[in-house]
Amino acid sequence: MALEVVEGMIVDALADEQNTGRLANALRDRAAAHGRAPGDDDVLGAVGFVVEYVEHVPAYLRDGLEAARMVGREGEMATVIREATEYWLAEADIIPDRLGLLGVLDDAYYSLTLMQAVSDRYEEEVGRALFSRNLKAANASIRNLIGEPAASQIDMYVGTRLNADPMTQMVRALTAMSSHRGAFPIPHRDGIWGDRSTEEIVQSRLGGLGLA
């Protein structure tokens, strides 16, 4: 199953970061480029934010699949999962996966940007978001970290996938769920970031590095 593969890649990426500190070093370099000299706590907080951001991919998709299963729309949500994990499974991507946690940043950014776009389109149709947490602030901070031209390349790929017929048809089918009171938004509560706003989390974790 694609989600299990993604979760395995995240486990491997976390292990790599423990051994190499590759992402932590990249964050220090990026902070220095913004005229900052962050302390160890600032860097640890930023690494923690990236870890939690990446972990939202399988967490949100599993929550979505369970909610869809309860209302008989598992097939439509399976399309979201297939599209949101496709980039993870590609043999070659913009940032090589061999770079550990740093290497799956583009994969997570692709997934969560696509999921946010699907949620926005769902909201346009039924008046409320598909996913309970608006990830735009988190996505913007990760986009800033990825940098250009890589970020724009990923954005173009997201747009291509979002506007393809399978995704367009899937979003229309998902709107049928709106009649099932309580089925959405997904999840009812964010199990990773709790009730704190995304903007607050981004500022508290990345502000010290000048990346918020």
pLDDT digits (tens, 9 = 90+) for 57-70: 999 888 877 777 77
Q: How far is the C-alpha of 150 from the C-alpha of 127, rounded, in Å?
A: 33
In the predicted structure, residue 10 carries a pLDDT above the cut 60: yes
pLDDT digits (tens, 9 = 90+) for 82-101: 888 888 988 778 998 999 99
Per-residue pLDDT averaged across 201-210, rounded?
Answer: 88
Q: How many domains does the chain have?
A: 1
Q: How far is the C-alpha of 210 from the C-alpha of 212, rounded, in Å?
A: 6
* Number of C-beta neighbours around residue 199 at 10 A: 15
Range of the domain at 124: 2-209
> Among 95, 1, 10, which residue's Cα sits nearest to residue 50?
10
> Among 66, 23, 68, which residue's Cα sits nearest to residue 47?
23
Block residue for tokens 């939202």: 56
pLDDT digits (tens, 9 = 90+) for 109-153: 999 998 888 888 878 877 777 788 889 999 999 998 898 899 999
pLDDT digits (tens, 9 = 90+) for 155-188: 998 888 877 766 677 677 666 655 554 445 566 6
User: Do 32 and 120 touch, CB atoms closer than 8 A?
Assistant: no
- Tell me the two tokens of residue 154: 């990923």
How many Cα atoms occupy the beta-carbon half-sphere of 167 within 13 Å?
20
User: Do 93 and 87 touch, CB atoms closer than 8 A?
Assistant: yes
> Among 85, 89, 67, 92, which residue's Cα sits nearest to residue 77?
67
In the predicted structure, residue 35 carries a pLDDT above the cut 80: yes
